[in-house]
Protein backbone atom coordinates (compact mmCIF):
# COMPACT_ATOMS: atom_id res chain seq x y z
CA UNK A 1 0.00 0.00 0.00
CA UNK A 2 1.29 3.51 -0.74
CA UNK A 3 1.82 6.00 1.97
CA UNK A 4 1.34 9.65 1.47
CA UNK A 5 4.24 11.21 3.34
CA UNK A 6 3.82 14.90 2.39
CA UNK A 7 0.20 14.89 3.67
CA UNK A 8 0.71 13.11 6.96
CA UNK A 9 3.83 15.08 7.88
CA UNK A 10 2.48 18.45 6.76
CA UNK A 11 2.90 21.15 9.38
CA UNK A 12 5.71 19.33 11.21
CA UNK A 13 9.38 20.21 11.45
CA UNK A 14 10.71 16.71 10.78
CA UNK A 15 14.26 17.60 11.81
CA UNK A 16 13.00 18.78 15.21
CA UNK A 17 10.78 15.71 15.41
CA UNK A 18 13.71 13.35 14.92
CA UNK A 19 15.81 15.16 17.52
CA UNK A 20 12.83 14.96 19.90
CA UNK A 21 12.54 11.20 19.33
CA UNK A 22 16.24 10.66 20.10
CA UNK A 23 15.94 12.71 23.28
CA UNK A 24 12.74 10.94 24.37
CA UNK A 25 14.35 7.53 23.90
CA UNK A 26 17.14 8.60 26.24
CA UNK A 27 14.60 9.91 28.77
CA UNK A 28 12.80 6.55 28.62
CA UNK A 29 16.05 4.65 29.22
CA UNK A 30 16.89 6.81 32.24
CA UNK A 31 13.36 6.64 33.66
CA UNK A 32 12.93 2.87 33.48
CA UNK A 33 15.96 0.96 34.85
CA UNK A 34 13.89 -1.86 36.38
CA UNK A 35 11.98 -2.40 33.11
CA UNK A 36 15.36 -2.43 31.31
CA UNK A 37 16.65 -5.16 33.64
CA UNK A 38 13.50 -7.27 33.26
CA UNK A 39 13.54 -6.81 29.47
CA UNK A 40 17.15 -8.03 29.39
CA UNK A 41 16.18 -11.06 31.50
CA UNK A 42 13.14 -11.81 29.32
CA UNK A 43 15.35 -11.62 26.23
CA UNK A 44 17.12 -14.75 27.41
CA UNK A 45 14.13 -17.08 26.89
CA UNK A 46 11.16 -15.27 25.42
CA UNK A 47 11.11 -15.09 21.66
CA UNK A 48 11.40 -11.39 20.81
CA UNK A 49 11.84 -10.79 24.56
CA UNK A 50 8.10 -10.51 25.19
CA UNK A 51 5.19 -12.92 25.81
CA UNK A 52 3.62 -12.02 22.44
CA UNK A 53 5.63 -10.63 19.55
CA UNK A 54 3.15 -7.71 19.10
CA UNK A 55 4.31 -6.33 22.42
CA UNK A 56 7.35 -5.13 20.49
CA UNK A 57 5.05 -2.77 18.60
CA UNK A 58 5.07 -0.25 21.43
CA UNK A 59 7.47 2.46 20.36
CA UNK A 60 9.66 2.09 23.46
CA UNK A 61 13.40 1.25 23.31
CA UNK A 62 12.68 -1.82 25.46
CA UNK A 63 9.49 -3.35 26.84
CA UNK A 64 7.81 -1.45 29.64
CA UNK A 65 7.01 -3.87 32.48
CA UNK A 66 3.89 -3.43 34.58
CA UNK A 67 3.62 -3.94 38.32
CA UNK A 68 -0.16 -3.63 38.51
CA UNK A 69 -3.12 -1.95 36.87
CA UNK A 70 -6.16 -0.53 38.59
CA UNK A 71 -9.10 1.52 37.25
CA UNK A 72 -7.59 4.06 34.79
CA UNK A 73 -4.03 3.66 36.00
CA UNK A 74 -1.11 1.39 35.19
CA UNK A 75 1.76 1.30 37.67
CA UNK A 76 5.04 0.30 36.03
CA UNK A 77 7.83 -1.58 37.79
CA UNK A 78 9.85 1.62 38.16
CA UNK A 79 7.06 3.14 40.22
CA UNK A 80 5.54 5.51 37.64
CA UNK A 81 1.81 5.84 37.75
CA UNK A 82 0.62 6.13 34.15
CA UNK A 83 -2.84 7.32 33.17
CA UNK A 84 -4.04 4.61 30.82
CA UNK A 85 -6.00 5.63 27.72
CA UNK A 86 -4.98 2.41 25.93
CA UNK A 87 -6.84 0.19 28.37
CA UNK A 88 -5.41 -2.98 26.88
CA UNK A 89 -6.67 -1.94 23.43
CA UNK A 90 -10.27 -2.30 24.72
CA UNK A 91 -9.80 -5.38 26.92
CA UNK A 92 -9.96 -3.07 29.95
CA UNK A 93 -12.42 -0.57 28.47
CA UNK A 94 -14.33 -0.53 31.75
CA UNK A 95 -11.22 0.04 33.84
CA UNK A 96 -8.60 -2.36 35.12
CA UNK A 97 -9.82 -4.93 37.64
CA UNK A 98 -13.37 -3.55 37.99
CA UNK A 99 -14.58 -4.26 41.54
CA UNK A 100 -17.64 -6.42 40.63
CA UNK A 101 -15.53 -8.62 38.33
CA UNK A 102 -12.77 -8.89 40.93
CA UNK A 103 -15.37 -9.94 43.53
CA UNK A 104 -16.88 -12.51 41.16
CA UNK A 105 -13.43 -13.94 40.44
CA UNK A 106 -12.66 -14.09 44.14
CA UNK A 107 -15.94 -15.92 44.80
CA UNK A 108 -15.16 -18.39 42.02
CA UNK A 109 -11.47 -18.70 42.92
CA UNK A 110 -12.03 -21.54 45.40
CA UNK A 111 -15.02 -23.08 43.59
CA UNK A 112 -13.33 -24.43 40.47
CA UNK A 113 -12.50 -22.99 37.09
CA UNK A 114 -13.38 -25.48 34.43
CA UNK A 115 -15.56 -28.61 34.32
CA UNK A 116 -16.96 -28.61 30.76
CA UNK A 117 -20.35 -28.08 32.46
CA UNK A 118 -22.59 -25.05 32.99
CA UNK A 119 -22.98 -23.20 36.27
CA UNK A 120 -25.88 -20.95 37.30
CA UNK A 121 -24.07 -18.10 35.59
CA UNK A 122 -24.57 -19.57 32.10
CA UNK A 123 -28.33 -19.02 31.79
CA UNK A 124 -28.02 -15.64 33.46
CA UNK A 125 -25.38 -14.49 30.98
CA UNK A 126 -27.52 -15.73 28.08
CA UNK A 127 -30.44 -13.57 29.13
CA UNK A 128 -28.24 -10.54 29.88
CA UNK A 129 -26.78 -10.74 26.36
CA UNK A 130 -30.13 -11.26 24.70
CA UNK A 131 -31.65 -8.28 26.50
CA UNK A 132 -28.68 -6.01 25.78
CA UNK A 133 -28.16 -6.80 22.09
CA UNK A 134 -31.62 -7.90 20.95
CA UNK A 135 -30.40 -11.22 19.53
CA UNK A 136 -32.00 -14.30 21.09
CA UNK A 137 -29.32 -17.04 20.80
CA UNK A 138 -25.77 -17.05 22.19
CA UNK A 139 -22.59 -19.10 22.31
CA UNK A 140 -19.16 -18.43 23.77
CA UNK A 141 -15.48 -18.40 22.82
CA UNK A 142 -12.17 -17.57 24.50
CA UNK A 143 -11.33 -14.58 22.29
CA UNK A 144 -12.98 -12.33 19.74
CA UNK A 145 -10.79 -14.00 17.13
CA UNK A 146 -12.34 -17.35 17.93
CA UNK A 147 -15.85 -15.90 18.15
CA UNK A 148 -15.39 -14.59 14.60
CA UNK A 149 -13.95 -17.88 13.46
CA UNK A 150 -16.90 -19.82 14.92
CA UNK A 151 -19.66 -17.58 13.64
CA UNK A 152 -18.20 -17.70 10.14
CA UNK A 153 -18.08 -21.48 10.37
CA UNK A 154 -21.69 -21.69 11.60
CA UNK A 155 -22.85 -19.40 8.81
CA UNK A 156 -20.99 -21.29 6.11
CA UNK A 157 -22.55 -24.50 7.43
CA UNK A 158 -26.01 -22.93 7.71
CA UNK A 159 -26.04 -21.32 4.27
CA UNK A 160 -24.00 -23.84 2.31
CA UNK A 161 -22.05 -20.88 0.87
CA UNK A 162 -18.26 -20.81 1.19
CA UNK A 163 -17.38 -17.19 0.54
CA UNK A 164 -17.29 -14.31 2.98
CA UNK A 165 -16.87 -10.59 2.35
CA UNK A 166 -14.81 -8.13 4.38
CA UNK A 167 -13.86 -4.48 4.07
CA UNK A 168 -10.45 -3.36 2.94
CA UNK A 169 -8.21 -2.59 5.94
CA UNK A 170 -10.31 -4.59 8.38
CA UNK A 171 -9.06 -6.50 11.39
CA UNK A 172 -11.14 -9.12 13.18
CA UNK A 173 -8.39 -10.85 15.12
CA UNK A 174 -6.28 -13.60 13.63
CA UNK A 175 -9.09 -15.45 11.87
CA UNK A 176 -7.18 -16.25 8.68
CA UNK A 177 -10.02 -15.69 6.21
CA UNK A 178 -10.00 -11.91 6.55
CA UNK A 179 -6.38 -11.10 5.66
CA UNK A 180 -7.13 -9.92 2.18
CA UNK A 181 -6.44 -6.36 1.02
CA UNK A 182 -7.15 -4.24 -2.00
CA UNK A 183 -3.95 -3.04 -3.64
CA UNK A 184 -4.56 -0.64 -6.49
CA UNK A 185 -8.12 -1.93 -6.52
CA UNK A 186 -7.10 -5.61 -6.80
CA UNK A 187 -7.55 -8.17 -4.01
CA UNK A 188 -4.33 -9.66 -2.66
CA UNK A 189 -3.53 -11.85 0.31
CA UNK A 190 -1.89 -9.81 3.08
CA UNK A 191 1.84 -10.33 2.67
CA UNK A 192 2.64 -10.06 6.38
CA UNK A 193 0.67 -13.22 7.19
CA UNK A 194 3.01 -15.95 8.42
CA UNK A 195 2.65 -19.61 7.56
CA UNK A 196 -0.44 -19.19 5.42
CA UNK A 197 -0.70 -22.03 2.92
CA UNK A 198 -4.29 -21.82 1.63
CA UNK A 199 -5.19 -19.22 -0.96
CA UNK A 200 -7.42 -16.83 0.96
CA UNK A 201 -8.64 -15.13 -2.21
CA UNK A 202 -10.55 -18.26 -3.11
CA UNK A 203 -13.18 -17.74 -0.42
CA UNK A 204 -12.85 -14.11 0.67
CA UNK A 205 -14.04 -11.07 -1.24
CA UNK A 206 -12.86 -7.61 -0.21
CA UNK A 207 -14.36 -4.22 -1.04
CA UNK A 208 -13.92 -0.66 0.17
CA UNK A 209 -16.07 0.49 3.09
CA UNK A 210 -18.65 3.16 2.21
CA UNK A 211 -18.69 2.00 -1.43
CA UNK A 212 -22.16 0.60 -2.17
CA UNK A 213 -21.66 -0.26 -5.88
CA UNK A 214 -18.62 -2.40 -4.97
CA UNK A 215 -20.65 -4.22 -2.30
CA UNK A 216 -23.50 -4.79 -4.74
CA UNK A 217 -21.14 -6.15 -7.40
CA UNK A 218 -19.32 -8.46 -4.96
CA UNK A 219 -22.57 -9.99 -3.66
CA UNK A 220 -24.34 -10.23 -7.02
CA UNK A 221 -23.18 -13.79 -7.63
CA UNK A 222 -25.33 -14.98 -4.71
CA UNK A 223 -22.45 -17.03 -3.33
CA UNK A 224 -21.38 -14.96 -0.30
CA UNK A 225 -22.39 -16.46 3.05
CA UNK A 226 -21.83 -13.35 5.15
CA UNK A 227 -20.40 -9.90 5.37
CA UNK A 228 -18.14 -9.72 8.43
CA UNK A 229 -17.82 -6.07 9.42
CA UNK A 230 -17.20 -3.62 12.16
CA UNK A 231 -20.00 -1.05 12.00
CA UNK A 232 -17.26 1.59 12.14
CA UNK A 233 -13.83 0.50 10.97
CA UNK A 234 -11.46 0.95 13.91
CA UNK A 235 -8.34 -0.97 13.11
CA UNK A 236 -6.81 1.10 10.35
CA UNK A 237 -7.58 4.27 12.19
CA UNK A 238 -11.27 5.00 12.41
CA UNK A 239 -13.45 5.12 9.30
CA UNK A 240 -17.04 6.15 10.00
CA UNK A 241 -19.95 4.97 7.88
CA UNK A 242 -21.36 7.76 5.76
CA UNK A 243 -24.95 8.78 6.54
CA UNK A 244 -27.35 6.13 5.22
CA UNK A 245 -24.54 3.69 4.39
CA UNK A 246 -25.65 0.86 6.64
CA UNK A 247 -29.33 1.15 5.66
CA UNK A 248 -28.42 0.81 2.01
CA UNK A 249 -25.76 -1.83 2.66
CA UNK A 250 -28.18 -3.96 4.69
CA UNK A 251 -30.72 -3.84 1.86
CA UNK A 252 -28.09 -5.02 -0.62
CA UNK A 253 -26.81 -7.73 1.73
CA UNK A 254 -30.28 -9.15 2.34
CA UNK A 255 -31.33 -8.91 -1.31
CA UNK A 256 -28.54 -11.34 -2.14
CA UNK A 257 -29.37 -13.79 0.65
CA UNK A 258 -26.16 -12.89 2.48
CA UNK A 259 -26.04 -12.52 6.27
CA UNK A 260 -24.55 -9.62 8.20
CA UNK A 261 -22.18 -10.23 11.12
CA UNK A 262 -21.32 -7.18 13.18
CA UNK A 263 -18.08 -7.41 15.12
CA UNK A 264 -18.71 -4.99 18.00
CA UNK A 265 -15.51 -5.80 19.86
CA UNK A 266 -14.28 -2.22 19.56
CA UNK A 267 -17.51 -0.35 18.78
CA UNK A 268 -19.05 -1.46 22.06
CA UNK A 269 -17.54 1.91 23.00
CA UNK A 270 -20.72 3.45 21.48
CA UNK A 271 -23.14 2.47 24.22
CA UNK A 272 -24.48 -0.49 26.23
CA UNK A 273 -25.90 -2.27 23.15
CA UNK A 274 -23.03 -1.41 20.81
CA UNK A 275 -23.06 0.65 17.64
CA UNK A 276 -25.61 -1.49 15.78
CA UNK A 277 -28.27 -1.15 18.46
CA UNK A 278 -27.65 2.58 18.84
CA UNK A 279 -27.95 3.16 15.08
CA UNK A 280 -30.82 0.84 14.18
CA UNK A 281 -28.70 -1.75 12.34
CA UNK A 282 -30.10 -5.31 12.56
CA UNK A 283 -27.30 -7.82 12.10
CA UNK A 284 -28.00 -11.53 11.79
CA UNK A 285 -25.12 -12.19 14.16
CA UNK A 286 -22.98 -10.19 16.55
CA UNK A 287 -19.52 -10.76 17.99
CA UNK A 288 -18.05 -9.24 21.14
CA UNK A 289 -14.78 -10.11 22.86
CA UNK A 290 -12.22 -8.22 24.92
CA UNK A 291 -14.14 -6.24 27.59
CA UNK A 292 -17.16 -8.57 27.87
CA UNK A 293 -15.57 -10.32 30.86
CA UNK A 294 -13.91 -7.18 32.22
CA UNK A 295 -10.63 -8.27 30.59
CA UNK A 296 -10.81 -11.93 31.62
CA UNK A 297 -10.31 -14.04 28.46
CA UNK A 298 -13.71 -14.76 26.92
CA UNK A 299 -15.95 -13.70 24.05
CA UNK A 300 -19.53 -14.14 22.89
CA UNK A 301 -21.46 -14.40 19.66
CA UNK A 302 -25.17 -14.07 19.14
CA UNK A 303 -27.59 -15.11 16.38
CA UNK A 304 -31.06 -14.23 15.19
CA UNK A 305 -33.87 -16.80 15.45
CA UNK A 306 -33.65 -17.53 11.74
CA UNK A 307 -29.89 -18.06 11.71
CA UNK A 308 -30.01 -20.13 14.90
CA UNK A 309 -32.61 -22.45 13.35
CA UNK A 310 -30.39 -22.97 10.30
CA UNK A 311 -27.31 -23.50 12.50
CA UNK A 312 -29.09 -26.11 14.60
CA UNK A 313 -30.26 -27.90 11.46
CA UNK A 314 -26.72 -27.88 10.05
CA UNK A 315 -25.46 -29.51 13.24
CA UNK A 316 -28.28 -32.07 13.27
CA UNK A 317 -27.66 -32.93 9.63
CA UNK A 318 -23.90 -33.29 10.08
CA UNK A 319 -22.41 -36.68 10.91
CA UNK A 320 -21.30 -37.10 14.55
CA UNK A 321 -17.77 -35.88 15.34
CA UNK A 322 -15.78 -32.69 15.54
CA UNK A 323 -17.59 -29.54 14.44
CA UNK A 324 -14.49 -27.35 14.28
CA UNK A 325 -16.20 -24.99 16.74
CA UNK A 326 -15.10 -24.59 20.36
CA UNK A 327 -12.18 -25.18 22.69
CA UNK A 328 -11.99 -27.09 25.98
CA UNK A 329 -11.91 -24.03 28.23
CA UNK A 330 -14.68 -22.16 26.37
CA UNK A 331 -17.54 -21.19 28.66
CA UNK A 332 -15.46 -22.05 31.71
CA UNK A 333 -16.78 -21.22 35.18
CA UNK A 334 -14.36 -18.35 35.77
CA UNK A 335 -15.18 -16.65 32.47
CA UNK A 336 -18.94 -17.04 32.98
CA UNK A 337 -18.70 -15.50 36.45
CA UNK A 338 -16.65 -12.61 35.04
CA UNK A 339 -19.13 -11.99 32.21
CA UNK A 340 -22.11 -12.06 34.50
CA UNK A 341 -20.51 -9.43 36.73
CA UNK A 342 -19.31 -7.29 33.82
CA UNK A 343 -22.64 -7.33 31.99
CA UNK A 344 -24.82 -6.72 35.02
CA UNK A 345 -22.68 -4.41 37.17
CA UNK A 346 -19.89 -2.87 35.08
CA UNK A 347 -21.06 -2.15 31.52
CA UNK A 348 -23.96 -0.09 32.83
CA UNK A 349 -25.78 2.93 31.37
CA UNK A 350 -24.36 5.05 34.20
CA UNK A 351 -20.80 3.99 33.31
CA UNK A 352 -21.41 4.88 29.66
CA UNK A 353 -22.88 8.24 30.60
CA UNK A 354 -19.62 9.27 32.22
CA UNK A 355 -17.43 7.71 29.51
CA UNK A 356 -19.25 9.35 26.60
CA UNK A 357 -19.40 12.80 28.16
CA UNK A 358 -15.71 12.78 29.08
CA UNK A 359 -14.73 11.37 25.68
CA UNK A 360 -16.55 14.32 24.10
CA UNK A 361 -14.47 16.70 26.20
CA UNK A 362 -11.29 14.81 25.29
CA UNK A 363 -12.13 15.03 21.57
CA UNK A 364 -12.80 18.78 21.84
CA UNK A 365 -9.61 19.30 23.82
CA UNK A 366 -7.51 17.45 21.25
CA UNK A 367 -9.06 19.53 18.45
CA UNK A 368 -8.00 22.67 20.32
CA UNK A 369 -4.44 21.41 20.84
CA UNK A 370 -4.15 20.44 17.17
CA UNK A 371 -5.47 23.79 16.06
CA UNK A 372 -3.09 25.66 18.41
CA UNK A 373 -0.20 23.98 16.58
CA UNK A 374 -1.84 24.54 13.19
CA UNK A 375 -1.66 20.89 12.23
CA UNK A 376 -3.94 19.55 9.47
CA UNK A 377 -5.16 16.66 11.64
CA UNK A 378 -8.69 15.54 12.47
CA UNK A 379 -10.36 13.89 15.46
CA UNK A 380 -13.01 11.16 15.33
CA UNK A 381 -15.12 9.91 18.23
CA UNK A 382 -17.22 6.75 18.56
CA UNK A 383 -18.66 6.89 22.06
CA UNK A 384 -15.85 6.35 24.55
CA UNK A 385 -13.30 5.94 21.73
CA UNK A 386 -11.42 8.97 20.40
CA UNK A 387 -8.75 9.11 17.76
CA UNK A 388 -6.68 11.76 16.01
CA UNK A 389 -5.55 11.12 12.46
CA UNK A 390 -2.86 12.75 10.33
CA UNK A 391 -5.22 14.21 7.73
CA UNK A 392 -7.56 17.22 7.65
CA UNK A 393 -10.76 15.26 6.96
CA UNK A 394 -11.70 11.82 8.30
CA UNK A 395 -10.91 9.03 5.82
CA UNK A 396 -13.86 7.43 3.99
CA UNK A 397 -12.28 4.09 3.10
CA UNK A 398 -9.64 1.69 4.35
CA UNK A 399 -7.33 2.77 1.52
CA UNK A 400 -7.62 6.42 2.49
CA UNK A 401 -7.04 5.56 6.16
CA UNK A 402 -4.04 3.40 5.31
CA UNK A 403 -2.40 6.16 3.29
CA UNK A 404 -2.15 8.48 6.28
CA UNK A 405 -0.80 5.93 8.78
CA UNK A 406 2.73 6.83 9.89
CA UNK A 407 4.33 4.39 12.32
CA UNK A 408 7.35 6.59 13.01
CA UNK A 409 5.29 9.65 13.81
CA UNK A 410 2.91 7.59 15.95
CA UNK A 411 5.77 6.10 17.97
CA UNK A 412 7.27 9.49 18.53
CA UNK A 413 4.02 10.92 19.85
CA UNK A 414 3.27 7.84 21.97
CA UNK A 415 6.74 7.81 23.53
CA UNK A 416 6.55 11.53 24.27
CA UNK A 417 3.22 10.96 26.03
CA UNK A 418 4.47 7.93 27.94
CA UNK A 419 7.46 9.86 29.29
CA UNK A 420 4.93 12.44 30.53
CA UNK A 421 2.85 9.85 32.38
CA UNK A 422 0.19 9.07 29.74
CA UNK A 423 -0.33 5.86 27.78
CA UNK A 424 -2.30 5.59 24.54
CA UNK A 425 -2.68 2.56 22.30
CA UNK A 426 0.47 1.59 20.37
CA UNK A 427 -1.53 1.13 17.15
CA UNK A 428 -2.44 4.44 15.46
CA UNK A 429 -3.67 7.15 17.87
CA UNK A 430 -6.57 5.64 19.74
CA UNK A 431 -7.69 6.62 23.23
CA UNK A 432 -10.42 5.19 25.42
CA UNK A 433 -12.19 6.71 28.39
CA UNK A 434 -13.16 4.24 31.13
CA UNK A 435 -15.65 4.78 33.96
CA UNK A 436 -12.84 5.81 36.33
CA UNK A 437 -11.05 8.25 33.98
CA UNK A 438 -11.23 11.75 35.45
CA UNK A 439 -11.25 15.30 34.10
CA UNK A 440 -7.77 15.74 35.48
CA UNK A 441 -6.57 12.60 33.63
CA UNK A 442 -7.86 14.17 30.43
CA UNK A 443 -6.14 17.43 31.38
CA UNK A 444 -2.86 15.56 31.84
CA UNK A 445 -3.18 14.00 28.38
CA UNK A 446 -4.00 17.31 26.72
CA UNK A 447 -1.07 19.06 28.45
CA UNK A 448 1.32 16.27 27.45
CA UNK A 449 0.10 16.30 23.85
CA UNK A 450 0.50 20.07 23.74
CA UNK A 451 4.14 19.73 24.87
CA UNK A 452 4.87 16.97 22.35
CA UNK A 453 3.36 18.90 19.46
CA UNK A 454 5.23 22.05 20.48
CA UNK A 455 8.45 20.04 20.23
CA UNK A 456 7.83 18.72 16.70
CA UNK A 457 6.31 21.73 14.95
CA UNK A 458 8.23 24.79 13.66
C1 LIG B 1 -12.81 -5.60 15.76
C2 LIG B 1 -11.98 -6.67 16.35
N3 LIG B 1 -12.42 -7.92 16.34
C4 LIG B 1 -11.73 -8.93 16.87
C5 LIG B 1 -10.50 -8.71 17.43
C6 LIG B 1 -9.72 -9.84 18.01
O7 LIG B 1 -9.67 -9.78 19.38
P8 LIG B 1 -8.73 -10.84 20.13
O9 LIG B 1 -7.32 -10.44 19.75
O10 LIG B 1 -9.01 -10.57 21.57
O11 LIG B 1 -9.08 -12.17 19.68
C12 LIG B 1 -9.97 -7.42 17.46
C13 LIG B 1 -8.66 -7.15 18.06
O14 LIG B 1 -8.14 -6.07 18.05
C15 LIG B 1 -10.73 -6.38 16.91
O16 LIG B 1 -10.28 -5.12 16.90
CA 190 to chain centre: 19
Q: Between the CA of residue 236 and those of 57, 144, 272, 367, 378, what are the distances in Å?
A: 15, 18, 24, 20, 15
Q: Are strands 285-288 and 299-303 parallel, antiparallel or unpaired?
A: antiparallel
Mutate to test the pocket of ligand 1, among 86, 87, 144 (most ligand atoms within 8 A of CB): 144
Give the ligand 1 atom nearest the CA of 90.
Answer: 14
> 303 CA to middle of ligand 1, Å?
19
- Widest Cα–Cα separation across the chain: 69
Q: Whole-angstrom Cα distance, residue 50 to residue 223?
A: 42
Give the ligand 1 atom nearest the CA of 143.
Answer: 11
Q: Which residues line ligand 1 at a C-beta cut-off of 6 Å?
A: 89, 143-145, 148, 171-173, 230, 235, 263, 265-266, 289-290
Residue 235 and residue 429 in contact, taking contact as beta carbons nearer than 8 Å:
no
Q: Whole-angstrom Cα distance, residue 168 to residue 171?
A: 9
| Nearest partner of 384 among 434, 440, 446, 445, judged by Cα | 434
Q: Whole-angstrom Cα distance, residue 311 to residue 153?
A: 10
Q: Which pLDDT score, from 0 to 100, does residue 1 have?
A: 40
Per-residue model confidence as pLDDT tens digits over 350-359: 999 999 999 9
pLDDT at 447 over 80: yes
Q: Are strands 204-207 and 163-167 parallel, antiparallel or unpaired?
A: parallel
Q: pTM of the full predicted structure?
A: 0.97
| Nearest partner of 248 among 200, 281, 220, 297, judged by Cα | 281
Residue 303 and residue 154 in contact, taking contact as beta carbons nearer than 8 Å:
yes
Residue whose Cα lies nearest atom 13 of ligand 1: it is 173
Per-residue model confidence as pLDDT tens digits over 19-76: 999 999 999 999 999 999 999 999 999 999 999 999 998 989 999 999 999 999 999 9
- The secondary structure element, H or E, covering residue 28 is helix 14-31
Averaged pLDDT, 148-156:
98
Q: Are strands 299-303 and 66-70 parallel, antiparallel or unpaired?
A: unpaired
Per-residue model confidence as pLDDT tens digits over 283-326: 999 999 999 999 999 999 999 999 999 999 999 999 999 999 99
Give the ligand 1 atom nearest the CA of 145.
Answer: 11
pLDDT at 5 over 70: no
* Portion of the chain with pLDDT greater than 70, in percent: 99
pLDDT at 225 over 70: yes
Averaged pLDDT, 152-170:
98
Q: Whole-angstrom Cα distance, residue 152 to residue 129?
A: 20
Q: Whole-angstrom Cα distance, residue 41 to residue 63?
A: 11
Q: Which pLDDT score, from 0 to 100, does residue 89 have?
A: 97
Q: Which pLDDT score, from 0 to 100, does residue 427 have?
A: 85
Mutate to test the pocket of ligand 1, among 264, 265, 275, 427 (most ligand atoms within 8 A of CB): 265
Per-residue model confidence as pLDDT tens digits over 81-125: 999 999 999 999 999 999 999 999 999 999 999 999 999 999 999
Q: Whole-angstrom Cα distance, residue 179 to residue 417?
A: 32
Amino acid sequence: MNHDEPTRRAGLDWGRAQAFLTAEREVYRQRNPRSAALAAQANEHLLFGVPLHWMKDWGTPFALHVDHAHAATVQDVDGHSLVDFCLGDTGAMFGHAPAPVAAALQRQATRGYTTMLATEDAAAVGSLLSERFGLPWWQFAMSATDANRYIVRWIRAATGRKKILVFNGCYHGTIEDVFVDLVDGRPVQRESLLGQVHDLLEHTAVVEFNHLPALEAALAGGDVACVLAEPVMTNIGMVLPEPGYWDAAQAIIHRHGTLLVMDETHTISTGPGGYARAHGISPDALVLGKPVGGGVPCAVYGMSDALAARAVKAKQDAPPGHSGIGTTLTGNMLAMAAMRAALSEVMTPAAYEHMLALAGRLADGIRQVISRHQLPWCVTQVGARVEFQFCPNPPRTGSEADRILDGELEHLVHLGLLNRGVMITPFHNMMLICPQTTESDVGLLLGALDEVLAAITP
